[in-house]
């Protein structure tokens, strides 16, 4: 039955794993957060490509250029001057991260001056924006603009389609070396990828990094996008303030190194606060868009992009973990040991995922780990409830025989063995005298009520002194001390209980009245070894004691009639030490024993014998 339940739980979580990994993706946000943190930590110790330089229109430049160029947007002739100054240093490429999608209607001469600065240059690149595909019907015929925009024709290209983009209209088409800079964010709003090519009706539109890398001779993967491999925190690329460079180009004697941009890929962009060109990335929630472009170019230049593990990786890890958990619980392994094992596997997987990031590989391990822990807690909860039910059953069963407080302590210490064990115990038998006469005066119902009342009082005494009630044998009570819990003073506690039982008897006799004055009991006690444990059939078992000690205790009780209400053996007397005073009644022949049994009657020190 337990194995079938374990199989059902395992099968349920396998089904949940498949649903989560193929359709639901409820843990994707957490998975991304973890991998983002790993990426961020790994990137801290890396430096970006030193050949990529950002000319930054920062807050300082906006303030310092106020007198020269006025408020933003500046006249494009200013950018023309910058381009001429940079080009004299022979850079590898000049890449603008500024849109020139509208002509300056108020300063057309400035636009013309800017275009004149581009003459003869073949390494200046401009961004464009891919508009929503729903607007394509309002765009230009795609076949007509394909060459201008550097589109690549695929096998399924539609020559009759139209395309909506925002090209750099302020730039003469003769100078169009363009690519898209659309921000590609994941479902959680974080930009982890950069587009390489956008498929528009079978025509591939290159992104700005792809266009630059392709023209510079770097390999560009023929895929829609790439996962960025970050290096360093924000502002880790070399930044040169736009104002510093512009002013230096306009000095009669330049102060900056004449060849500082030689062979560099120079990106002209902004991270000024008022320009709002910030993106949410794994590195920061306010990451400059220009640095994201620089990272993409860095990745293509160095052939260094992240790659994700195969889709089946997470499923394989999840199935393995869930299968091992199901097997372990079905084998009845300890839940704590299983938990420690799962913790070790969790740490190993997290470390492997962290190390894999250094190798530019993203391993999705969090979802399998979370599924495994959820499965573990369900299994552990089931084991706990089953153990709790077992303990409740044990408490319920043994509360009939043992003081409930003792039972709770017994269960708290791990229960008791189902196998019998030999223990040193003290056995007590208490039998009613005059029961036949009492029964003749009452109806059966009255007899049962009277016995129940008497047994209740006497069993309370047994429990109060830490004894275990074995059974009722007709009108006889059988109890013992020293099991199931260890009790070094079991003989003393048994005699104390017997003395109090005698006191309770007197009070009970006063309740009965003079007509039942013959009602009495005999109590026999013996100490010795016995076998105790759950004894019986598979259908019914009882916790009891068997052996010669038990038999002798019963025989001693039978010898009390006409001698003393309480008799104990020498073994019991000696085990009590000096706790009581004992009166010897001599030796008696006992059936089944060759040697006589010496019996004693206990009294409280300084008290009267019962």
Contact status, residue 205 vs residue 130, Cβ threshold 8 Å: yes
For 180-221, the pLDDT digits (tens) are 999 999 999 999 999 999 999 999 999 999 999 999 999 999
Contact status, residue 271 vs residue 26, Cβ threshold 8 Å: no
Kindly report the length of the chain: 610
Closest Cα to residue 90, out of 50, 58, 113, 120?
Answer: 120
Question: Which residues neighbour 342 within 8 Å (Cβ) at sequence distance 6 or greater?
Answer: 321, 325, 372, 373, 376
Residue 513 banded pLDDT, cuts 50, 70, 90: confident
Span of 336-350, 504-518, 554-568 with lowest mean pLDDT: 504-518
Closest Cα to residue 511, out of 472, 430, 445, 456?
Answer: 456
CATH topology of domain 402-603: Alpha-Beta Plaits (3.30.70)
* pLDDT at res. 525: 97
The fraction of the chain above a pLDDT of 70, given in percent, is 94
What is the token pair recorded at 458? 């006497």
Question: Which is it for strands 203-206 and 197-200: parallel, antiparallel or unpaired?
Answer: antiparallel
CA–CA distances in Å: residue 340 to residues 333, 353, 369, 454 = 12, 20, 14, 54
The half-sphere exposure of 220 on its side-chain side, counting CA atoms within 13 A, is: 22
What is the token pair recorded at 371? 């599924």
Contact status, residue 543 vs residue 484, Cβ threshold 8 Å: yes
Cα 274 → chain centroid: 43
Mean pLDDT of 386-396: 73
Q: What are the sequence ranges of the domains in the chain?
A: 2-21+309-393, 47-303, 402-603
Q: What is the mean pLDDT of the chain?
A: 90
For 463-489, the pLDDT digits (tens) are 999 998 888 888 899 999 998 888 999
What is the 3 state secondary structure string of 192-218? CEEECEEEECCEEEEEHHHHHHHHCCC
Closest Cα to residue 314, out of 365, 376, 351?
Answer: 365
Question: Which residues neighbour 511 within 8 Å (Cβ) at sequence distance 6 or greater?
Answer: none
**Phi, psi of 193, deg, nearest 5:** -120, 160
Q: Report, in this order, helix, strand and coil percent for the chain, each rounded to 5.
A: 45, 20, 35
For 560-593, the pLDDT digits (tens) are 998 999 999 999 999 999 999 999 999 999 887 8
Residue 231 banded pLDDT, cuts 50, 70, 90: very high
Model confidence at 437: pLDDT above 90 = no
Closest Cα to residue 241, out of 48, 54, 47?
Answer: 54
Contact status, residue 104 vs residue 170, Cβ threshold 8 Å: yes
3 state DSSP class of 426? strand
Containing H/E element for 320?
helix 311-330
The half-sphere exposure of 336 on its side-chain side, counting CA atoms within 13 A, is: 0
* pLDDT at res. 12: 87
* pLDDT at res. 410: 56
Contact status, residue 142 vs residue 161, Cβ threshold 8 Å: yes
Residue 402 is classified by DSSP as B
Q: Give the C-alpha separation, 39 to 20, whole Å.
A: 24
Q: What is the DSSP string of 321-387?
A: HHHHHHHHHHTT--HHHHHHHHHHHHHHHHHHHHHHHHTTEE---HHHHHHHHHHHHHHHHHHHHHH
Q: pTM of this prediction?
A: 0.70
């Amino acid at each position: 039955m337990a194995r079938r339940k374990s199989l059902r739980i395992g099968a349920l979580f396998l089904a949940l794993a498949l649903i989560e990994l193929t359709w639901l993706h409820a843990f994707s946000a957490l998975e991304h957060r973890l991998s983002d943190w790993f990426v961020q930590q790994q990137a801290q110790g890396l430096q970006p490509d030193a050949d990529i330089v950002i000319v930054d229109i920062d807050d300082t430049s906006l303030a310092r250029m106020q007198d020269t160029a006025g408020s933003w947007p500046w006249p494009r002739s200013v950018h023309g001057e910058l381009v001429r100054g940079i080009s004299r240093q022979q850079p590898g490429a000049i890449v603008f991260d500024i849109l020139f999608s509208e002509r300056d209607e108020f300063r057309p001469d400035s636009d013309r001056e800017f275009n004149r600065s581009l003459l003869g240059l073949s390494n200046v690149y401009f961004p464009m924006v891919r508009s929503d595909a729903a607007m394509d019907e309002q765009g230009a015929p795609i076949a007509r603009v394909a060459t201008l925009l550097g589109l690549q024709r695929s096998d399924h290209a539609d020559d009759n389609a139209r395309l909506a983009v925002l090209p750099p209209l302020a730039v003469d088409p003769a100078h169009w070396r363009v690519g898209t800079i659309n921000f590609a964010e994941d479902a959680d709003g974080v930009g982890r990828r950069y587009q390489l090519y956008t498929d528009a009706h079978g025509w591939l539109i290159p992104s700005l990094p792809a266009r630059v890398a392709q023209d510079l001779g770097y390999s560009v993967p023929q895929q829609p996008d790439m996962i960025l491999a970050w290096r360093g925190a924000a502002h880790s690329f070399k930044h040169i303030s736009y104002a510093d460079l512009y002013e230096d180009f306009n000095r009669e004697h330049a102060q900056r190194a004449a060849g500082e941009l030689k062979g560099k890929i120079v990106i002209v962009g902004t991270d000024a606060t008022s320009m709002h060109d910030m993106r949410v990335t794994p590195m920061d929630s306010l990451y400059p868009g220009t640095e994201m472009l620089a990272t993409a170019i860095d990745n293509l230049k160095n052939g260094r992009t992240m790659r994700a593990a195969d889709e089946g990786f997470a499923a394989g890890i999840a199935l393995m973990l869930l299968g091992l958990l199901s097997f372990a619980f079905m084998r009845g392994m300890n839940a704590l040991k299983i938990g420690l094992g799962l913790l070790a596997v969790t740490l190993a997987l997290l470390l492997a995922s962290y190390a894999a990031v250094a190798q530019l590989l993203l391993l999705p391990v969090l979802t399998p780990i979370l599924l495994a822990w959820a499965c573990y807690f369900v299994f552990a909860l089931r084991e706990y409830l089953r153990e709790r039910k077992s303990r409740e059953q044990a408490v319920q069963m043994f509360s009939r025989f043992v003081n409930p407080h003792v039972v709770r302590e017994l269960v708290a210490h791990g229960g008791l063995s189902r196998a019998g064990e030999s223990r040193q115990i003290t056995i007590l038998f208490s039998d009613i005298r005059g029961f036949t006469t009492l029964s003749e005066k009452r109806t059966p119902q009255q007899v049962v009520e009277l016995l129940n009342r008497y047994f209740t009082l006497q069993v309370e005494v047994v429990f109060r002194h830490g004894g275990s009630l074995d059974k009722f044998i007709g009108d006889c009570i059988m109890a013992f001390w020293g099991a199931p819990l260890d009790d070094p003073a079991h003989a003393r506690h048994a005699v104390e209980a017997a003395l109090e039982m005698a006191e309770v008897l007197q009070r009970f006799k006063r309740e009965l009245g003079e007509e039942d004055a013959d009602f009495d009991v005999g109590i026999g006690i013996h100490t010795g070894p016995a076998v105790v444990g759950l004894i019986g059939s598979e259908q019914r078992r009882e916790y009891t004691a068997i052996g010669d000690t038990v038999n002798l205790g019963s025989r001693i009780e039978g010898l009390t009639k006409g001698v003393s209400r309480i008799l104990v053996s020498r073994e019991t007397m000696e085990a009590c030490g000096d706790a009581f005073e004992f009166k010897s009644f001599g030796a008696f022949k006992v059936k089944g024993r060759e040697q006589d049994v010496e019996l004693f009657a206990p009294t409280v020190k300084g008290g009267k014998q019962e």
